[in-house]
Amino acid sequence: MDLLGFIIILVKVLVVFAATMITVMGMIYAERRVSAFMQGRLGPNRVGPKGLLQPIADGIKFFMKEDLIPSGADKPIFILAPAILLIPALMTFAVIPFGSSITIFGREIALQVADVNVGILYILALTSIGVYGIVLAGWSSNSKYSLLGGLRSSAQLISYELAMGLAVVSIILLAGSLRLNDIIADQQGYFLSWNVFKQPLAFIIFLVAVYAETNRLPFDLTEAEQELVGGYHTEYSSLKFAMFFLAEYANMITAAALTVTLFFGGWDVPLLDESSLGLLGAILSVLSFILKMAFFLFLFIWVRWTFPRFRYDQLMRLGWKVLLPLALVNIFLTGGYLTLTAMK
C-alpha cells in the first residue's frame, strides 16, 4: 500500500470515529430531550442554546467523579470489562459503507473504512464479543445485582443471537454475498427492491433482536433498574461508567446503521443512480444514509419511552419459541423461492 492510500484510510478512520462520537453525544442529548417531550416536559435546556451542551456537562461530571473499585472485586477484569464492551462497539462501524464512492485526484475512494468480504460475519462476531464485557463486568464486581445483570445478559445473548443471525441469513441468500457492499448493490434502484419489502418477516425479527442485542428498553433486563439497581454497571463509577454509557450508544448507532444497510438499501437513494452524478451523488448517498440512520436512532428512543420491559421468561419464550422458528421458516421460504426461480 502506498503512502497516500494509507493517509486516506487514516483520515477515514478519524472521520468515522469522530462522527460516531458526535452522534453518541447527540444521542445522549436526544434521549433526554425526546423522553422529556414524550412526557410533556422540556428536558435539559439550560446548558448552551436549547441545552445542546448538556452532553459536555455530563462528560465533565463523569470526569470529576471519584473512581471506585469495590473491595473483593476482581481488579484486572473489573478494569478491563468496560474496554471489552466499548472497543468492539466502536470497531463494528468500520465495515459499514456510509456512502457510495468519491473520486479525488483520479483515485476512487470508497466511503467505508474497510471493505471486508465477510462484513456481516465480522459485525456479528464483534457484537457478540461486546456481551463478554457485560458478563465480565457483572462477574468481577463482587455484587449480587451486577452478577444477575451479567447472567441475564448472557442468557439474552444465546436466545437472540440465533434468531438475529438466521434473519440475516435470509438476506445473505438474496444477495449471495457476505460483503455489505454487495448487499447494498442488491437493493439498489427502485424503492421496492429494498430488503424490507422483500423480507418483511426477517426485518421484524432482526429489529426485535437488535433491541435485545443493544440492551434497549423492551429487553433491557441486564440493567433493569427497578430490580437490579443498575444491573451489570451497578458498581461502576466515573469514567468506567461513562465507557459503558458510550458503548451502549455506540452499539445503538452500529445497530441502526446495520439495519439501514441490510434492510433499507444502505446509502441508496431511491430512483437515483448515484454513480452518474459524481460528487453530488456521493453527498446525496451519505445524506440518505444519515437520514435513514437518524430515523432508526429516533426509533430506539421512541420505543424505549413507549414499551414496558419484558419479564425474563417472556423474553426467553419470545426468543426461542417465536423468533427462532419464524426465522427458520423464513429461511426455508427464501431458499425455496430462490431454488424455484433458479430452476426456470
CB of 253 to other proteins, least distance (A): 21
Q: Which of residues 180-239 bind other proteins (CB under 8 A)?
A: 204
From 32-40, 154-162, 174-182, 286-294, give the range in contact with other proteins by CB under 8 A: 32-40
Q: Tell me: does residue 295 bind other proteins (CB under 8 A).
A: no
How far does CA 228 lie from the centroid of its chain? 24
C-alpha cell at 234: 451497578
Q: Which helix (H) or strand (E) holds 243?
A: helix 238-263
Give the one residue of 37, 191, 332, 337 binding other proteins; rule: CB under 8 A.
37
H helix intervals, 95-189: 119-140, 144-175, 180-187
Q: Tell me: does residue 306 bind other proteins (CB under 8 A).
A: yes
Give the one residue of 39, 103, 275, 314 binding other proteins; rule: CB under 8 A.
39
CB of 299 to other proteins, least distance (A): 9
Q: How far is Cα 99 from Cα 96, in angstroms, rounded to an integer? A: 9
CB of 30 to other proteins, least distance (A): 12
From 37-45, 57-65, 220-228, 285-293, give the range in contact with other proteins by CB under 8 A: 37-45
CB of 297 to other proteins, least distance (A): 15
Give the one residue of 1, 40, 342, 344 binding other proteins; rule: CB under 8 A.
40
CB of 43 to other proteins, least distance (A): 9
C-alpha cell at 77: 477484569
Handedness of CA 64, 13, 164, 305 (dihedral sign): positive
Give the one residue of 34, 95, 212, 247 binding other proteins; rule: CB under 8 A.
34
Pick from 252, 344, 265: nearest CA to 301: 252
C-alpha cell at 289: 444514509
Give the one residue of 17, 295, 302, 320 binding other proteins; rule: CB under 8 A.
302
Pick from 22, 2, 62, 1: nearest CA to 290: 22
- Partners of residue 108 on adjacent β-strands: 103
Q: How many residues form the binding site for other proteins (CB under 8 A)?
A: 13
Pick from 177, 205, 198, 196: nearest CA to 327: 205
